[in-house]
């Protein structure tokens, strides 16, 4: 992720500073990543912050009776950030933000909704969305990243793991 955020910073420094701006949700909860003041458009600058704590997923795993793939736990325990997106192959991918004080609740809500819509099964864990509305999911047994078309019931592998996906996200088409 460090490589991705460095590339994002380099592109932002070339004049695309919007890459590190986000709409304000609750400034107090995320003050660790926000920088400066809210602008006239209700946006604030942010920077990724490497986590110095680890979120324990044991209770969540017990609640859903699953063991999360280690790459999912690593994703939610590496950095706090608001945006992690870009182009991968022919797809625009937007991955889940990891915000201070909301990490575990965000994951819980995503898993809950996914489980409800998938016959009470959790073979995959949602981690983002693709530009055409397909879900980005991680296969819990292997860590492979798939694009899920819920209507068709199809799963297409796009990356062997989340690291491969993130390292290869491009910020320009």
pLDDT (tens digit per residue) in 95-108: 999 988 776 888 89
Per DSSP, the three-state class of 138 is strand
Of 159 and 10, the one with more pLDDT: 159
Average pLDDT over residues 48-56: 89
What is the pLDDT, as a whole number, of residue 29? 58
- Dist. CA 28–CA 50, nearest whole Å: 19
Domains in the chain: ranges and CATH = 51-167 (3.40.1580.20)
Q: Is the pLDDT of residue 30 over 60?
A: no
Q: pLDDT tens digit string along 117-161? A: 998 989 999 999 999 999 999 999 999 999 999 989 899 999 999
Q: pLDDT tens digit string along 32-43? A: 888 888 888 888
Q: Is the pLDDT of residue 64 over 60?
A: yes
Average pLDDT over residues 80-98: 93
Instruction: Give 97: exposed, middle or buried? Use CB within 10 Å, 0-12, 13-18, 19+.
Output: buried
Question: pTM for the whole thing?
Answer: 0.88
- Cα angle for residues 19, 23, 29 (degrees, 5° grid): 110
- Cα angle for residues 90, 108, 151 (degrees, 5° grid): 45
- Dist. CA 61–CA 66, nearest whole Å: 5
């Amino acid at each position: 992720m460090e490589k991705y955020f460095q590339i994002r910073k380099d592109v932002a420094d070339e004049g695309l500073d919007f890459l590190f701006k986000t709409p304000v949700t609750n400034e107090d909860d995320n003050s660790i990543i926000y920088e400066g003041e809210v602008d006239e458009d209700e946006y604030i600058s942010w920077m990724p912050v490497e986590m110095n704590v680890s979120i324990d997923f044991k209770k969540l795993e017990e609640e859903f009776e699953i063991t999360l793939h280690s790459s999912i736990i690593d994703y939610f325990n590496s950095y706090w950030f608001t945006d992690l997106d870009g182009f991968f192959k022919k797809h625009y991918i937007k991955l889940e933000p990891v915000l201070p004080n909301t990490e575990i609740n965000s994951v819980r809500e995503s898993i809950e909704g996914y489980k409800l819509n998938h016959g009470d099964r959790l073979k995959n864990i949602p981690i983002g969305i693709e530009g055409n509305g397909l879900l980005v999911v991680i296969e819990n047994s292997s860590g492979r990243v798939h694009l899920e078309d819920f209507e068709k019931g199809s799963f297409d592998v796009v990356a062997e793991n989340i690291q491969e996906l993130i390292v290869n996200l491009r910020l320009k088409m």
